[in-house]
Amino acid sequence: MRRSADIVVIGSGAAGLSAALGLAATRNILLVSAGSGSTPWAQGGIAAAYGDDDPFDHAHDTEIAGAGFCDPRNVRALVEEGPQRLAELIALGARFDRDSDGSLSRTLEGGHDRHRVVHAGGDASGAEVHRALHQAVQLAGVRTVTGRAVGLIKSGSGHIAGVLVEEDADVSQIDARAVVLATGGIGNAYLASTNPSTVRGDGIALALQAGASLVDMEFVQFHPTALFTGDSTGQLPLVTEAVRGEGAVLRDLRGRRIMTDVHPRADLAPRDIVARAIESTMRRDGCEHVWLDARSIPEDTIRRRFPTVLASCRRIGVDMLSEPIPVAPAEHFLCGGIRTNRDGATDVPGLYAVGEAAGGGVHGANRLASNSLLEGLVFGRRVATALTLDLPAESYGQPSWLTLGEDREPDRIRAILTEHAGIRRDGAGLQTALDELESAGDGPLATVARTVVAAAITREDSRGCHWRSDHPRTDERWNRHLVIRLDEEGRPAVRQLLHSAAT
């Protein structure tokens, strides 16, 4: 089957739906999706500074969490445009939790200096955001295709000219002037993640294959508190940071507080710091989890604010009202991704990226809690605005079909990445990973794994969520972003780009 559109948006999370909605009135678009991604699973909420809060303070917290490695101009766009995007979401019908005076309830999460995170259904924020956006996209009459994008079409002039989509057993072609990759992160490249199985780095592999650059791929964020279920594979239930925001504390298996001596914000330190402290505690004590003690939170608060977490705990036989919760860190979010400018443009004409798939620089070396849904809303709209103003020039010349290859033994790839590119890394382990990945095929998981490892082995310092035990300090000489492209032999070639803190 062959179809055409002005623009194809791939992915139906917060980023893809926002982009599609912003384009629906002006362009002929097609939304391609392999199913729902991380968005409906989001718990904590959306960070937005409005009213008595100041976007400048939100930017400051974002920069601190990002270990000073964020792109300040993009952060400014995030925090300044965020409240307007949130208001529009509410106008679309998204129902956020409100206090008794009618104002939006705002909670606290790690790395924030104040209550700034709006939430819905207690801890079911993502489901409500997804519901409202999805409904609006349907009402706007956006054509959708259920299937998996497995290739990009590139014209002889170097422009992206369309997408190949696997629908059931068939591969169809969609011709387009622009393609927006909103395919989410890379959770499925690890043995265990908080992400669902649809999130497997396809868009990142497609972009790389089409000649686009990736950036900051070494910064893989681990959420400190995934529920320890005894089976550390596949999608793990999350215990939102907001539980700590309401007063829960982390304890080792002997009941001692973990975070009090580690950081002035203790249990609400930025996520990378908390995850590292838990990892060190587990390594020291030779155990597979620590405790999150939420028993100080009043029962009615838990029932109202954390129904999802309460139910997840119940499913493994834990009553969080009266018992501590077993938790351990798990892969959660990719801070880098496909290198873009502030309007989502990659360095390949006609190819755009947005949301978690994109490396737009807003997260630096570690993402601030609840900045990701916001990123999808803000940059989804920005990409839509850019493509409303201008469609890329029509392409010409003989097209080529750039299809995803095959992963050999996906579980081996996941095991390699999990063992050597987790919270704690070192040069020897990363070299082993590179060698072992040689024979892993050229599918999306292998491609993503190689780029994470190539970046992590190159960066010989520690910052944000990249922690090298053989280079444990932050070294100013590494104030450089690592940009990856494929060389002629199809291997990731890493180049360094000086970090600019200029506003």
Positions marked catalytic:
271
Give me the residue label for tokens 């390699």: 416
The answer to whether 153 contacts ligand SIN (rule: CB under 6 A) is no
Work out what residue 241 binds among ligand SIN, ligand FAD, none; the CB cut-off runs from 5 to 8 Å by kind: ligand SIN
Dihedral pair phi/psi, residue 265, rounded to 5°: -90, 5
The answer to whether 279 contacts ligand FAD (rule: CB under 6 A) is no
Which of 29, 89, 149, 204 binds ligand FAD (CB under 6 A)? It is 149
The answer to whether 32 contacts ligand FAD (rule: CB under 6 A) is yes
Whether residue 392 contacts residue 436, with contact meaning beta carbons closer than 8 Å, is answered with: no
Which of 334, 369, 430, 446 binds ligand SIN (CB under 6 A)? It is 369
Each residue 357-396 as x (binds ligand FAD by CB under 6 A) or -, in order, gives x------------xxxx--x--------------------
User: Shortest approach of ligand SIN to residue 110 CB, angstroms?
Assistant: 8
Binders of ligand FAD among residues 113 to 132 (CB under 6 A) are: 125-126
CA-to-CA separations, 210 to 181, 213, 335, 428, in angstroms, rounded: 12, 9, 21, 31
Selected range binding ligand FAD among 80-88, 349-357, 471-479, 488-496, rule: CB under 6 A: 349-357
DSSP states of 363-412 as a string? Answer: STTSPPTT-HHHHHHHHHHHHHHHHHH-PPPPP-S--EEEE---BSSHHH
Show the tokens assigned to 203. Answer: 């868009």
Binders of ligand SIN among residues 13 to 52 (CB under 6 A) are: 43-44
User: Shortest approach of ligand SIN to residue 96 CB, angstroms?
Assistant: 15
Buried b (16+ CB within 10 A) or exposed e, 489-500: eeebebeeeebe
Work out what residue 12 binds among ligand FAD, ligand SIN, none; the CB cut-off runs from 5 to 8 Å by kind: ligand FAD
Which of 18, 198, 372, 451 binds ligand SIN (CB under 6 A)? It is 372
Q: Exposed/middle/buried for 322, CB within 10 Å: 0-12, 13-18, 19+?
A: exposed
Nearest to 352 by CA among 75, 3, 9, 12: 9
The answer to whether 12 contacts ligand FAD (rule: CB under 6 A) is yes
Whether residue 475 contacts residue 465, with contact meaning beta carbons closer than 8 Å, is answered with: no
Which of 33, 188, 213, 240 binds ligand SIN (CB under 6 A)? It is 240
Selected range binding ligand SIN among 235-243, 344-352, 382-390, 432-440, rule: CB under 6 A: 235-243
Beta bridge pairs of residue 291: 251, 326
The answer to whether 62 contacts ligand FAD (rule: CB under 6 A) is no
If the CB atoms of residues 209 and 366 are measured against ligand SIN, the closer one turns out to be 366
Work out what residue 107 binds among ligand SIN, ligand FAD, none; the CB cut-off runs from 5 to 8 Å by kind: none
Show the tokens assigned to 49. Answer: 């500074």
Do the strands 290-293 and 249-251 form a parallel or antiparallel pair, or are they unpaired? antiparallel
User: Shortest approach of ligand SIN to residue 117 CB, angstroms?
Assistant: 8
Buried b (16+ CB within 10 A) or exposed e, 376-412: bbbbbbbbbbbbeeebbeebeeebeebebeebeebeb
Work out what residue 183 binds among ligand SIN, ligand FAD, none; the CB cut-off runs from 5 to 8 Å by kind: ligand FAD
The answer to whether 193 contacts ligand SIN (rule: CB under 6 A) is no
Beta bridge pairs of residue 497: 481
CA 481: distance to chain centroid? 18
Binders of ligand FAD among residues 190 to 209 (CB under 6 A) are: 194-195, 198-199, 202-203
Q: Which residues bind ligand FAD (CB under 6 A)?
A: 10-16, 32-39, 41-45, 125-126, 148-149, 182-184, 194-195, 198-199, 202-203, 238, 333, 355-357, 370-373, 376
